[in-house]
Structure 1
Amino acid sequence: MEDRSSGSSGSSGVAARSAARLRELWAQDRPAFGLWNHLADPAVAELVAAGPFDYVCVDLQHGLAAPGQLPGLLQAMRAAGRAPVVRVPWNEPAAVMRALDAGAAAVLVPMVDSAEDAARAASACRFPPAGSRSWGPMWADALPGGAPPPAEHDAAVLCLVMVETRAGVDALEEIVRVPGVDGVYVGPNDLALGCGHGRATYRDSPEVDRLVARVVDACREAGVVAGLHCSDVEMATHWAGRGVRMLTAAQDTALLRAAAERTWRELTGAAERG
């Protein structure tokens, strides 16, 4: 099991352990199941980070949190012994570097359409000479002895790019072979929309099924991780069986609503029974 004590290692140590946990699962060819953090409340962030999921992803692209709230959310998660994955708003080096400085274990970079896009994302994740990341760990002064050296940061970070468009699919074989790219994560709604299939899913469209499978196959051949945003548990287990190794299986807002509705049904059912 993962050591989830926060101790005195600060954000760098927690992020390294969180990334190592994912790498350990993938080295064993086992799926990592994650939770999507849509809400911007530090109390919720700490609760979900303390849960059993292999990773939690803070969504800065479509979630409620603004970039300025990220340090506080990550600090709350670190208190629970977990550093999250962060989906940055766009493929901008400043956004990637800021998420990593704040203590993210990995970044999801959206709308990567080419090998050049992928290389820009990977470069922002590593310090020179491997990349172009600027030195500035946010919590360095809180660490005994200061921040770890750049090479340790580089080794711990995971760079995951998102292929969501026709251009990205067309460049897929080049994207997965870009040095520093650790995996490709698919947002199936954008992938279907971007490839002309509207809101179709793998369940009702053989074309969408083939698109997702193509990403999985390309990742397997290149030796990188295939990830997928899933609408429910059945979808996550289905694609885990087809080789996807990073699967977001639930979202905090959906879990909250489902729990409220389940409790209400139990209450009203009990009242009707007298």
Structure 2
Amino acid sequence: MRPNRLRVLLAEGKTAVNGWLHIPSSWSAEVMAHAGWDSVTIDLQHGLTDYETAVTMLQAIATTDTVPLARSTWNDPAQIMRLLDAGAYGIICPMINTRAEAEAFVGACRYPPMGYRSLGPTRARVYAGADYAQHANETLLTLAMIETQEALNNLSEILATPGLDGIFVGPGDLGLSLTGQMGMDMSDPTLAAALAQIAEVTRANGRIAGIWVPTAARGQQMQQLGYQFITVSADSRLLNAATQEIIQEMKSQ
């Protein structure tokens, strides 16, 4: 089976930089994958992509060594299994609040006896190799999103879930849950304290600590806290920022 370079990188204690794909296009996915990210994640929850388009995006990403991941729309076993069958090398699952929810998520990603994933890796065996089914359980990554006060309260129990590789913080929803405020002010004292706590507890449990950040500078701050899987911005946000910069420069004369 094709190795999961992301898993190897994280096991070595290095920081992985992950790209985020909101745009439903195989071309933009291919461009992002060629940019040098360690991995890229197709976002089916808040991105504009459906399953069929996600398959074409996975095919485009496969033209590079960048590791393909996907964020499911919810803790939906049927969709999670289809994304894995399509060749995603890991799943980020939103709104995991309890160990029971984490167990259901992990179970959908693992073949028996570790889980209840159905056998039928249609495209995955083409992308990964004919021995995919024999090695998928130890190769694919499972990251549960921590986004609420309830999840924070249950963090240690969630991290104790067998087969769970780590967590991924959604700072927007977590900040909303903790403070009642919209936006993503990661300098807010309440949110900042929670982010530090999550990183400390996750690393103490030997799990991967991941997070989304809006800028590279914020990502470096999170790296100092112990986060080692860091997603910076998203393709649509990067496109918008670059476009605005060019327009402002052209109109400044």
Counterpart in 1 of 2:141?
A: 158
Aligned: 1:242 with 2:225: yes
Q: 1:177 aligns with which of 160, 184, 190?
A: 160
Separation (CA, whole Å) in 1 of partners of 2:190 and 2:125: 52
Separation (CA, whole Å) in 2 of partners of 1:229 and 1:187: 6
Separation (CA, whole Å) in 1 of partners of 2:162 and 2:212: 24
| SS of the residue 2:211 aligns to | strand
Deviation larger for 24-33 or 69-78: 24-33
Going from structure 1 to structure 2, the CA distance change for 1:96 and 1:81 (only over 3 Å counts) comes to same
Deviation at residue 179 of structure 1 after TM alignment: 0.6
Code of the residue aligned with 2:41 in structure 1: it is: C
Separation (CA, whole Å) in 1 of partners of 2:17 and 2:242: 20
Separation (CA, whole Å) in 1 of partners of 2:126 and 2:179: 50
Pairing of 1:102-251 with structure 2 (within 5 A): 102-139=86-123, 142=126, 147-199=130-182, 201-203=185-187, 205-251=188-234
| SS of the residue 1:159 aligns to | strand
Counterpart in 2 of 1:6?
A: none
Considering only CA atoms, is the larger Rg found in Structure 1 or Structure 2?
1
Could you list the per-position Cα deviations for residues 49-104 of structure 1 after superposition, in whole angstroms to 9, with x for gaps in the alignment? 11111111110000010123211111111123434110000001111111110101
Aligned: 1:94 with 2:73: no
Identity of aligned residues (%): 33
Aligned: 1:37 with 2:38: no
Q: 1:25 aligns with which of 1, 5, 9?
A: 9
Considering only aligned residues, what root-mean-square deviation do their CA atoms show, in Å?
Answer: 1.9
Kept after mapping to 2: 8 A contact 1:34/1:250: no
Kept after mapping to 2: 8 A contact 1:83/1:103: no
Kept after mapping to 1: 8 A contact 2:80/2:108: yes
Q: 2:49 aligns with which of 50, 54, 65?
A: 65
Going from structure 1 to structure 2, the CA distance change for 1:40 and 1:98 (only over 3 Å counts) comes to same
TM superposition outliers: structure 1 runs of 4+ over 4 Å: 140-144
Scaled by the length of structure 1, the TM-score of the pair is 0.86
Going from structure 1 to structure 2, the CA distance change for 1:268 and 1:140 (only over 3 Å counts) comes to closer
List alignment gaps of at least 5 residues for structure 1.
Answer: 1-11
- Matched length: 252
Could you list the per-position Cα deviations for residues 141-162 of structure 1 after superposition, in whole angstroms to 9, with x for gaps in the alignment? 8579x73152311111000000
Code of the residue aligned with 1:114 in structure 2: it is: T
List alignment gaps of at least 5 residues for structure 2.
Answer: none
Kept after mapping to 2: 8 A contact 1:187/1:229: yes
